[in-house]
Amino acid sequence: MKREQVFEFFRRLAEANPSPTTELESGNPFQLLVAVVLSAQATDASVNIACRPLFERIRTPRQMVDFGEDDLRDAIKTIGLFNTKAKNVIALSRALIDRFGGEVPRTREELQSLPGVGRKTANVILGNAYGINEGVTVDTHVGRLSRRLDFTREDDPVKVERDLMALIPREDWALISHLLIFHGRQVCVARRPRCEACVLSDICPSAFKVP
């Protein structure tokens, strides 16, 4: 697909959603990192519900370590895989204290060295906490819509990200993820895409043909 065609897709998505951002609630980079780690295989809404009272008292890695794994486990028990996630959050908090002076690092390599942090999480933190476009965040929505819109034919998230990075200007990488995620949740849903309400329906290669 040509860049001019891709630009038209995102121009329309941006008009429909002019101020896209992550739905995860946080007050600083550390809280965002915790929220993203907790959001794996969980909804943003469920993470926000659990994290609102937690983040009222926990703003730093030191406070999280002092809070402790048992209390954290109890605070996030409504979120899937809460046992493993509690271990990872405490471990990454200790790592931030020991290796980064309590600050969330600003490189993907350093972020991925933290427990429970992979490429997708690192991209979210860099793009949303620091405005650094190091890559494109590819979750299930971004991957699914990228295939439906014919931006890629790949299934592997890293390969999907590679194809998107080749099509989209670097300064728009974080924005693109937000636009696709929002559209995937609100309009181009997995099982019953709402093509009749879609701003892309007249140019989408999958419009009215998705099973």
pLDDT at 210: 53
Q: Are residues 114 and 147 in the same domain?
A: no
Q: Are residues 37 and 68 in the same domain?
A: yes
User: Interior CA angle at 121 toward 86 and 46, to 5°?
Assistant: 55
Measured CA to CA, the distance from residue 128 to residue 112 in angstroms comes to 16
Tell which of 77, 107, 129 closes a domain.
129
b/e 66-95 (16+ beta carbons within 10 angstroms → b): ebeeeebbebbeebeebeebbebbbebbbb
pLDDT at 4: 83
- Burial label, 53 (beta-carbon count in 10 A; 0-12, 13-18, 19+): exposed
What's the token pair of residue 81? 């895989």
| 208: in domain | no
Q: Annotated active-site positions, please?
A: 120, 139
CATH of the domain at 80: 1.10.340.30
Measured CA to CA, the distance from residue 151 to residue 180 in angstroms comes to 12
Measured CA to CA, the distance from residue 114 to residue 46 in angstroms comes to 23
Q: Are residues 37 and 66 in the same domain?
A: yes
Of residues 33, 54, 24, the one with CA closest to residue 118: 33
Of residues 113, 120, 123, 118, the one with CA closest to residue 91: 113
Q: Are residues 98 and 39 in the same domain?
A: yes
Tell which of 108, 129, 150 closes a domain.
129
> Containing domain of residue 117, as a range?
29-129
Q: For the chain, how many structural domains are there in total?
A: 2
What's the token pair of residue 68? 């402790």
pLDDT tens, N- to C-terminus, the chain (211 residues): 677 889 999 999 999 999 888 999 999 999 999 999 999 999 999 999 999 999 999 999 999 999 999 999 999 999 999 999 999 999 999 999 999 999 999 999 999 999 999 999 999 999 999 999 999 999 999 999 999 999 999 999 999 999 999 999 999 999 999 999 999 999 999 989 999 999 999 999 998 665 5
pLDDT at 30: 98
Please compute Rg for the chain using Cα positions.
18
